[in-house]
Amino acid sequence: MKFNIKKIAPQLLTLLFVILVFGFFSYNAQLNMENRGIDFGYGFLSQESSFDVQFSLIEYDGSHSYFRAYLVGLLNTILVSVIGIILATIIGVIVGIARLSSNYLIKNTAAFYVEFFRNIPLLLQIFFWYFAALRALPLPQDTESIMGVFYLTIKGLFIPAFIWENFNIFLYSIVAAVVSIVVIKNYAKRKRENEGKQIPVFLISIGLLFILPFLSFLIGGVSLSFEIPVLKKLAKTSYIYEGGVGIPPELIALTLALSLYTATFIAECVRAGIQGVGKGQKEAAASIGLNPNQILKLVVMPQALRIIIPPTTNQYLNLTKNSSLAAAIAYPDLVLVFAGTALMQTGKAIEIVSITMLTYLSLSLSISVLMNWYNKKIAIKEK
Amino acid sequence: MFKIVKQLTSLVAVFAVLFAFTTETMAAKKSKTLKNTQKKGFVRCGVSQGLPGFSNADAAGNWTGVDVDVCRAVAAAVLGDASKVKFTPLSAKERFTALTSGEIDVLSRNTTWTLSRDADIGLTFVGVNFYDGQGFMVRKNSGINSVNDFKDGISACTNIGTTTELNMRDFFNSKGISYEPVAFEKADEVVAAYDAGRCDTYTTDKSGLAAQRTKMSNPDDHMVLPETISKEPLGPVVRQGDAVWEDIVRWSLNTMIEAEEYGITSANADMMKTSENPAIKRLVGAEGELGAAFGLDNEWSLRIIKQVGNYGESYERNIAAPGILPDRGPNQLWTKGGILYVPPAR
């Protein structure tokens, strides 16, 4: 009993202390807000926002609510994070493996890249890519097209828009392809384990992934056409491309800066992971007759991933949080749209900042949960 | 056991401090701001991050501008020395939070007086030190000579967190033009992006356009369109809830404007003490007890005029002389065809 009190008392006191500190702060905030005649409440979320946003994934203009503006910002944050994470992972894995190359040039180029990009503050890099790109890119009317349909200009990258007919049938065909690939993969696995037969699953999968969607065009009534951007004159010296899809230079610069920066850290994780697999493992694999490809795929990578995944999760979280630097270069992310313009127009600082904090927390926790699930899946399974 | 006692005592100590802090907060006295300012020995003033003519720091960190002069006037009135101001550069987004949270005591940062700002967010506007309106800047060679030349798809660079964003939407909607808003957090980036050609037009208050044009790589390549699309009365702001402090800031500004009206300048202020005109004598503290109402001495207004100068001097020094807006336009005294008109100091 005596032991228990000793154990519990400090914890209870700490808990009490935390509650009191929070209580004090919220009481104080409430008191100060009352003194200064500021109302507290989330009612403003349904009011009309009356400001426009440059770039939005959902339909939005100033006649929509502040909540809608919040969604616009959130989706833009998710967009840049997802693209950033994918790009950073691809670059990171390539550079990480390149650092272990025996080729002097490849090895040192990769090392230089890592040291250079991870030692310069991210905000500077964002400014560099944005303003360097703006200075370097041509005006719309001076732009040479890339392959006749892409236009990279100071006002953004203009690409053809896809115009689908019966898009849902096309989607079904993709789903059907994926399902049949899974079935075949399981069948091949059983075949291999029971009868020792190898089935070329990879080739069959690729084939299915092409043939089924192709069939949907032939017999499913799916058709695809392109709307190519066309130059439009706004004034004597100002032009813009119309039609097609315009990707703002802010998004391009931000994605580039975020992924190049984060990729350096991921590259180091990958290198550490591969180097962390014992040399004996590779030798043992070679001695039972696996070829180098199989060694990498079946022996080295599964073990390396266990080392790579946890620190890489951190980098994904960092990238997501760093995307809030977007405000500096006018990319309308959550911080710029919601914790920026909306906060200013409503003056609801505490409400908006608390919502924004909770949103980033949820985003980070979702990524963590996903990565932890994956980590568990590839962890050593004790039998 | 000893460990727990130790923890407990430290906890008690922490609470004692917290409690003392709370009682201090609750015992809000009459004009706490004035008392705090006098105790600290400087006025805490929020300004812009660099807008020539309004609030701009030189290489040595000296702030100048008409907005800066309002804070200097307050310092001259309450502390007796116009140089005793601590300037905090704020972005448009940060400014109101800085004021309501008590980080600064006066916000003098080309801020537009609107109903919702005045009524909603715990702020009080004390007056207008610059009558402005939103305009558009374009490249001279673009062939755009009026807002009527704007076409669908035009891109407009601007700042976030200002009335500009709202006015821009109202304007383009009323004209039925679709546009691409490119909104930055800081003014410097807006200028850089517009200058690089990211946007076809740059929109903000006309005074701001005139001031920022001087920062462009080639100022002569740009021009401000003649149309004004909004009313932007800019003025100093204080926190709600301290009526005395509010009055001090309001009348510091009014003193500068009224001094110009009566021809009192920093050079002749002392001589004006012997003037025949009672209104002038009141302004230079030779008659009446005007300072007493604020808890100040009777020379508070004289110090403002002597150390900062009247409104006309401030305008000439900060806005006209550097060539930002040589024409005072509406910011001329009502007696000279402008709309500057302040209640009498009596």
Residue A114 has pLDDT above 90, yes or no: yes
Least confident among A30-44, A60-74, A272-286, B137-151: A30-44
Question: Which is nearest to A87 in space by CA: A209, A245, A251?
Answer: A251
In a shared domain, residues A254 and A214? no
Q: Are A260 and A362 contained in the same domain?
A: yes
> Which pLDDT score, from 0 to 100, does residue A2 have?
59
The answer to whether residues A366 and A306 belong to one domain is yes
A132 belongs to a structural domain: no
User: Which domain range does residue A21 map to?
Assistant: 2-38
Q: Do B7 and A13 touch (CB under 8 A)?
A: yes
Q: Do A36 and B100 touch (CB under 8 A)?
A: yes
- Helix spans in B101-176 (H): 115-120, 163-175
Shared domain check, A32 and A53: no
The β-bridge partners of B124 are: B238
Q: Which two tokens stand for residue A244?
A: 């097609």
8 A C-beta contact, residue A158 and residue A151: yes
By three-state DSSP, how is residue B323 classified? coil
Task: Assess whether pLDDT exceeds 60 at residue A93.
Answer: yes
Q: What is the pLDDT along chain B (346 residues), one digit of tens a residue?
A: 455 555 555 555 555 544 444 433 333 346 889 999 999 999 999 999 888 899 999 989 899 999 999 999 999 999 999 999 999 999 888 888 899 888 999 999 989 998 888 887 788 999 999 999 999 999 998 888 998 989 888 999 998 877 888 899 999 999 999 999 999 888 888 999 999 888 999 999 888 898 888 888 888 899 999 899 998 999 999 998 888 999 999 999 999 999 999 999 999 988 888 888 988 998 888 888 888 888 888 899 999 999 999 999 999 999 999 888 888 888 999 999 999 999 998 8
> Measured between alpha carbons, how far apart are the two ends of chain B, in Å?
70
Size (chain A), residues:
383
A314 shares a domain with A192: no
Same domain, A197 and A115: no
Is A291 within a domain?
yes
In a domain, A285, yes or no: yes
What angle, 0 to 180 degrees and rounded to 10, lies between the N-to-C axes of helices B66-79 and B32-40? 90
B199 near B155, Cβ under 8 Å? yes
Q: Measuring CA to CA, which residue among B73, B129, B70 is closest to residue B302? A: B73
- When pLDDT is cut at 50, 70 and 90, the band that residue A138 belongs to is confident
Is the residue at A226 inside a domain?
no
Helices (H) and strands (E) in chain A, counts: 13, 7
Supply the pLDDT for residue B14: 52
What is the structure's pLDDT at A285?
92
Tokens 């990769």 correspond to: A110
Q: What percent of chain A has pLDDT over 70?
A: 98
pLDDT in tens, A259-310: 999 999 999 999 999 999 988 998 999 999 998 888 888 888 888 988 899 9
Q: Which residues of A touch B136 (CB under 8 A)?
A: none
Q: Which of B25, B122, B182 sits opposite A36 (nearest CB)?
A: B122
A123 vs A199 pLDDT, higher one: A123
Tell me the average pLDDT of chain A.
87
Distance from C-alpha of A287 to C-alpha of A61, rounded to nearest angstrom: 65
What CATH number is attached to the domain comprising A78? 1.10.3720.10
Question: What pTM, to 2 d.p., does this model score?
Answer: 0.78
Which chain A residues touch B182 with a CB distance below 8 Å?
54, 248, 250, 330
Indicate whether A262 and A371 sit together in one domain: yes
Confidence category of residue A146, pLDDT binned at 50, 70, 90: confident
Q: Is residue A233 domain-resident?
A: no
Domain assignment of residue A241, yes or no: no
Question: So what's the pLDDT on residue B8?
Answer: 56
**Mean pLDDT over residues A45-50, rounded?**
87
Same domain, A52 and A113: yes
- Cβ-contact B125, B194 below 8 angstroms: no
Q: How is B42-78 classified by DSSP, letter by letter?
A: SEEEEE-S-BTTTBEE-TT--EESHHHHHHHHHHHHH
Chain pair A-B, CB pairs under 8 angstroms: 153
Same domain, A252 and A367: yes
Please compute the mean of the pLDDT values over residues A85-94 and round it to a whole number. 95
Average pLDDT over every residue of A149-160: 84
Q: Look up residue A228 and give its amino acid.
A: I
Q: What is the pLDDT of residue B20?
A: 46
User: How many separate domains does chain A show?
Assistant: 3
- The more confident residue out of A105 and A137 is A105
Amino acid B301: pLDDT: 92
Does residue A134 lie in a domain region? no
- The chain A residue lying nearest B145, using CA atoms, is A235
**Residues A308 and A326 occupy one common structural domain:** yes
User: Which long-range contacts (C-beta less than 8 Å, at least 24 apart) are formed by A226-232?
Assistant: A226/A149, A226/A160, A226/A161, A226/A162, A226/A163, A227/A160, A227/A161, A227/A163, A228/A148, A228/A149, A228/A160, A229/A149, A229/A151, A229/A158, A229/A159, A229/A160, A231/A140, A231/A141, A232/B153
Contact A312, A96 (CB under 8 A): no
Share of chain A above pLDDT 90, in %: 38
User: What residue ranges define each of the domains in chain B, with the CATH number in brackets?
Assistant: 32-131+234-336 (3.40.190.10), 134-230 (3.40.190.10)
| Closest residue in B to A133 (Cα–Cα) | B196
pLDDT, residue B9, reads: 57
List, in sequence order, every residue forming a beta bridge with B137; answer none if it has no partner: B202, B224
Residue A144 vs residues A58, B117, B154: alpha-carbon distances, Å: 31, 48, 21
Q: Who among B15, B166, B185 is closest to A327 (CB)?
A: B185
Interface of A with B in 300-339 (CB under 8 A): 327-330, 332, 336
Chain B positions touching A345 (Cβ under 8 A) are 161, 165-166
Note whether A286 and A355 are same-domain residues. Answer: yes
The residues, ordered by sequence, that sit 6+ positions from A154 with a Cβ below 8 Å of its Cβ are: A134, A137, A138, A139, A140, A249, B196, B197, B198
**Separation in Å, CA of B169 to nearest CA in chain A:** 6
Q: Give the pLDDT of residue B11.
A: 55
Rounded to a whole number of angstroms, the distance from the CA of A350 to the nearest CA of chain B is 10
Residue that is written with structure tokens 């992971």 in the block: A273
- Tell me: do A182 and A331 sit in the same domain: no
